Amino acid sequence: MKKRNLRYNAGMKWIIVGLGNPGGEYAKTRHNAGRIVIEQFRKKYNFSSWEYKKTYDALASYGEIAGNEVVLLEPETYMNQSGKSLLTLVKSPDQAAQLIVIHDDADLPTGDWRSARDRGAGGQNGVVSIIAAIKTRDFYRFRVGVAPAITLDAPRRKAGDFVLEKFTVEELSTIKSRSIGIAERIVFLITNGHEKFKDTIKKVRSQDLKS
């Protein structure tokens, strides 16, 4: 599928969504990597405290990046219903073009990350829900690796067997430290627009971001 030639719309808000499951029991699980990253973003850039918005059924935080209005969202639905929080926020292709979704990726080692746009969901149920809700896949995604290390004692496992497990202390520290690199790339995108981001992101890989 050929990507649209996106037009940078400085007057339209940016929406950044951190996917996960609500409730304290899920707070430090691998499936909640998106929420963990977006919380680090909120703190780093001094966004407002989280507040529940019934219209979105989500926690929302507000701020500004380079003169652009930015809304952070943590859906209060379970992962596979994440799209419901965006039904009233994303109603056009231009708004979808300024949507950024941060989510866990069970195929990447813990702490690695990749960015993508206009790609299939890859089996991630939160992304599946969002694509169905806003009727396009043409938005940005930051995929955060959550796969446990593969060793002789712990070979590769199916995603369903570990995504609801809690990170180890070391893994959680890695996710939080790598969150800064993700946040900086998101800010670059918001500040400079689609074309400059596309030209530079190819040169940036998670292994270059040392904690």
194 as an active site residue: the answer is no
- Report the distance separating Cα 108 and Cα 105, nearest Å: 6
Residue type (1 letter), 61: S
CB atoms within 10 A of CB 66: 11
> What tokens appear for 60 in the block?
């929302």
Q: Indicate which residue of 28, 30, 31, 137 is catalytic.
A: 31
Which of 58, 50, 61, 60 has the alpha carbon at shortest distance from 77? Answer: 58
Question: What tokens does 114 get?
Answer: 């990749």
Other CB atoms within 10 A of residue 155 CB: 8
Helix residue ranges, H only, 78-122: 93-96
Helix/strand/coil percentages in the chain, nearest 5 = 35, 25, 40
Side chain identity at 55, as an amino acid letter?
Answer: T
Opening angle at CA 48, ends 44 and 51, nearest 5: 125
Give the residue numbers annotated as catalytic, written as ranges.
Answer: 31
